[in-house]
Structure 1
Amino acid sequence: MKDEQVHKTPLNEKHRALHALMAPFGGWDMPIQYEGIIAEHSWCRNKAALFDICHMGEFLFQGDIEADGLEGVFTFSVKTIPVGRSRYGFLLNEKAGIIDDLIVFRLAEDKAMIVVNAATAENDFAVIQNRVKAGSLKNITCSTGKLDLQGPLSREVLVSAFGPEIAAIPYFKFITMNILGCEAIVSRTGYTGELGYEIFLSAEKVSELWDRLLQDERVRPAGLGARDVLRLEVGYSLYGSDIDESTTPLDAGLEAFVNFDKTFVGKDALLRQKEQGTNRRKVAFKVAGRRSPRHDYEICFEGAGAGKVTSGVFSPMLGCGIGIGFVKPELAAIGSPLTIRQERISMEATVCELPFYRGGSLRS
C-alpha cells in the first residue's frame, strides 16, 4: 500500500515521538507496540493502558428509528436500546455473511451513533445508506476522535481526571459529559476483557486528551499487538480474520447477537442454515506448549486437514499458545484433539471453551 493511501490518526506524530513500531492496519498507519507487546499486555491486565482507536468509523443517524428503516438494518433491535446504552451485533449481506460487526449507541429517541471497523467503514456506510428509507445518515469519522482506556485502574484514573460521575457508568452504558471543554461520550465498553472505557470526542481535542491521560503514572500507551493478545484471551472475534462476508453468525457461534424475532437483511438465509446445519464451526483451542499458532496454519485431525486457524497467539495469562479456527462440525466438541501444522511446524492442541481467560476486571 502506498504511503499516500494510508490514513493517519491525529496522534500519528505522538506515536512516532514515543518510538512506536508503526505499520498499516485497516488502511491506517497504526502503532503496533511501544515498549513491547508482553509489557503492554501486562500493564493493561494490571493497571491502565491507553489505546489510539481513532481509525474506527463512526456514523450518526437521526430520524425515526423504525419508520425510517434503521431498525431493519442490523441483526439486533435498535428501537429497543434504551437511550444511554449500546448494543453489539452484525450487518449482514443477503446470504447472511458478515459485512461487519459493530456497536450502536442510542444517543436519543431519534439519534444513534454506529461504530464500525476501520477497513470496512466506507462500504458499511454505503450499505447502511442504501438500506435506510429516510432520516439523516452522516459519516462523522474524520471529525471524531476515539481513545480507549482499559485496565483495572481505568475507573480510578478517569474519576480523578474528570469527575465522579464516571464511576457510576454500568457495563455497556455511556454518558455524555464535558471533557477538555467539548462534549464527549464516555462509554463503559472495550475489547480487552478488562474494566475499561471508550471515549469519543472532537478529533481536534484527542491529542490533548492523550497527553492529559499519559500524565498519570498509572497509564501507559499500548499498541495493536497487545490489543490483539488481550482480545483473543477473552475470545473476541477480529473482523477480517475470524469473521468476514464468507462467515455467518451461526458459523462463528455468535447466534446470541442475532434477534430472530425481527426483520433484517440475511434473516432468511440464516433461518435456512439453522434448519440445514452449518458445514463448519468456529472452535477455540489451547496448544500443548508455548508455541504460537498463526493465521492460516492448518488444523488437522488424525493426519487429515480439517480446517484453518484464523487467530492465534501466545497467551501470557495461560502460559501456552491459544487460537481460534474453523473445523468440520463433528470436530467442534470440547476436548477434541487437534494438530496445528505449518510446513515443518507441528503442535498438539485441544478444543476448549471460551473465554480462554476468565480473570479480567470487565464487570468490576
Structure 2
Amino acid sequence: MTDAMNTAFDTRVGAAFDSGASSGLGTAPAPNGAGTDGAPAVLLYTRLRKSPYFWKSRAAGAAMYSVYNHTYHPRHYGDPVGEYWALLQGVTLWDVGVERQLEISGPDAFDFTNMLIPRDLSKCDVGQCKYVFVTAPDGGIINDPVLLRLEENRFWLSLADSDVRLWALGLAHAGGWDVHIGEADVAPLQVQGPLAKDVVRDLFGDEVLEVPYYRLREFTVDGMRVVVSRTGYSGEIGYELYLRDASRDAERLWDAVWEAGRPHGMRPIGPCHMRRIEAGMLAYGCDITLDTNPLEVGYDYHWMVDLDQEADFVGKAALARAREEGVSRLMVGLEIGGEPLGTYNDGSMIEPYAVLDTAGRTVGTVTSACRSPRLERNIGLAMVPVGLSGTGTAVTVRTPDGIRDAGVVDKPFVDPRKETPKR
C-alpha cells in the first residue's frame, strides 16, 4: 500500500471505534489489542457468505462485523451502549440471517430429530418452538438452536455457530434414516424491544398479537410468506420473522419492516450482548462448546435434558452418568470490580479471563463479561469449580489491565423469572 492508501484504510477502520469511544466505550481496554496502531479489519470478500439482508444492514450503517456460521454478521452500528438503551426502551431490528435454518423432513423426521436433542419432542406441538441443545455422544454441546415444529414431520433448527448440517447428514447416513436434511431458503430478522408488538401489529395485523410465547404462525405480507415466532435473543419482548424465499424477498421484507418500524423509532442493532449477559443467556463458542455439557451450564432440568423419556438420544448415557456422579464445575454469575469493562461486542474481550482462587491459582474462566449500563456494574458468566460456585464466594479475575476482585452472584442478573419477554 502507498502511504495515502494506508492513511485512508486506517481512517475507515478506526471510524467504528471512534464512534464507540464517544459512547463511553473509551473506558474499556483498547479494542483488538492495546499497543496496536488502529485495529485489524474483517476482510469483506467472496469466500465468506452474506446474509440475505447483508446489503440492507450495511446500508443501515453496520460498523463492525464478525463471522458466524461462515457468514458475515453485523455486531453493532457504531454505538453499542445506545443500541442497548434502544432495545430496553424502544424497538430494534436485527439482521440474524446468519441463523441458518436446518430443515429436517421426511417419514423419519420426528424420530430422527428427537434423537438429536435431549428434550422430549413428544411434548412439542406443531406450531411450537423449543430452545434445545444438540448433544454429542459424550454429552458435549454441539449447538443450541431454537427448534420450530412446522408440521408433524417437518422441523427447522435455527442454528447457532457450528456445522450441525454436516453432523446431521452423517448421522442420517450412518443410521439409514429416511429423512431429508438441507438448508431451507429461509432467513430470520428479529424485532425486539417493548414496542415490538406495535411494529408487528402494523405489519401483520392484530392477529399476530395472538401468537403465544414460544409459538409460531405463518403470515403473508405483500406476497411474502413469513413464519412469525414469539422468540428472540434479547430477554425483551420480541419476535423473529422467518422469511421464506429469502434469496428473492429479503430486501423487500427488510424495507417493509423498516417502514412499519419508522413511526415507532425503530433502530438497527446487532445482538446486544450486554442484555443477553444480564439475562444469563449463553453464546455458543464462548459460554458453551463441545467441551461443556448441559449439566455444567445450569440446564440440568427435566424440561431441557429429559433423561426419563423412553426414547434414546445422542449423549443420553453420558449425561445420565454425569448426573449420577455429579459434575466438577458449574457456570455462575460474577460481579467484577474495577473500572468499567466494555460491551463485549466491541472487541474489548478478545480472550477469556482467568478466575483465580484466594491462593492465586487459576481455577476457572470468565467466558463473557461486560459493563451493565443499568446496573452500573461489571458482570460476567464464568465456569468455576463446584466448590467455588456458591453465591457470595469471593474470587479474583485476571483481566488485561490487571487483577480484579469478583464475587459469585445469582444469575440471571436481571429479571430472574424471565417475565419480561412473556408480556
Determine helix, strand or coil for the equivalent of 2:145: strand
Aligned to 1:318: 375
Q: What is the root-mean-square deviation in Å for CA atoms of aligned residues?
A: 2.1
- The alpha carbon displacement at 1:55 in A equals 0.7
Taking structure 2 as the reference length, what is the TM-score of the superposition?
A: 0.80
**1:203-250 CA-partner distances (Å, limit 9, x unpaired):** 1222112122222232110013xx222211100110000111110111
- The alpha carbon displacement at 1:64 in A equals 4.1
* Residues 1:48 and 2:105 aligned together: no
Paired residues for 1:218-233 under 5 Å:
218=264, 219-224=266-271, 227-233=272-278
- The alpha carbon displacement at 1:86 in A equals 1.1
Equivalent of 2:280, from 235, 238, 255?
235
- The alpha carbon displacement at 1:65 in A equals 5.3
Distance 1:130 1:217, change over 3 A: farther
Paired residues for 1:87-236 under 5 Å:
87-127=130-170, 129-130=172-173, 133-141=176-184, 143-201=185-243, 202-203=245-246, 204-215=248-259, 216-218=262-264, 219-224=266-271, 227-236=272-281
Distance 1:323 1:173, change over 3 A: same
Aligned to 1:363: 422
In 1, Cα distance between equivalents of 2:400 and 2:339: 18
Q: Which of the pair is proportionally richer in strand?
A: 1
* Residues 1:260 and 2:307 aligned together: yes
In 2, Cα distance between equivalents of 1:46 and 1:38: 12
Alpha carbons 2:336, 2:404 under 8 Å: kept: yes
In 2, Cα distance between equivalents of 1:67 and 1:47: 39
- The alpha carbon displacement at 1:251 in A equals 1.3
In 2, Cα distance between equivalents of 1:179 and 1:125: 33
In 1, Cα distance between equivalents of 2:135 and 2:414: 29
In 2, Cα distance between equivalents of 1:166 and 1:67: 27
**1:97-149 CA-partner distances (Å, limit 9, x unpaired):** 111111221112222222211443443443553476433323234x2121000
Distance 1:147 1:160, change over 3 A: same
**1:320-355 CA-partner distances (Å, limit 9, x unpaired):** 111011111100001111211135412211111111
**1:149-208 CA-partner distances (Å, limit 9, x unpaired):** 001110111101210111111110111111231321100001100010001012122211
- The alpha carbon displacement at 1:49 in A equals 0.6
The runs of 5 or more residues in structure 1 that have no matched partner are none
Alpha carbons 1:66, 1:79 under 8 Å: kept: no
- The alpha carbon displacement at 1:71 in A equals 2.1
Please tell me the residue identity of whatever aligns with 1:269.
A
Percent sequence identity over aligned pairs: 28
In 2, Cα distance between equivalents of 1:67 and 1:322: 40
Aligned to 1:291: 340
* Residues 1:15 and 2:74 aligned together: no
Q: Which of the pair is proportionally richer in helix?
A: 2
In 2, Cα distance between equivalents of 1:52 and 1:82: 28
Determine helix, strand or coil for the equivalent of 1:272: helix
Determine helix, strand or coil for the equivalent of 2:420: coil
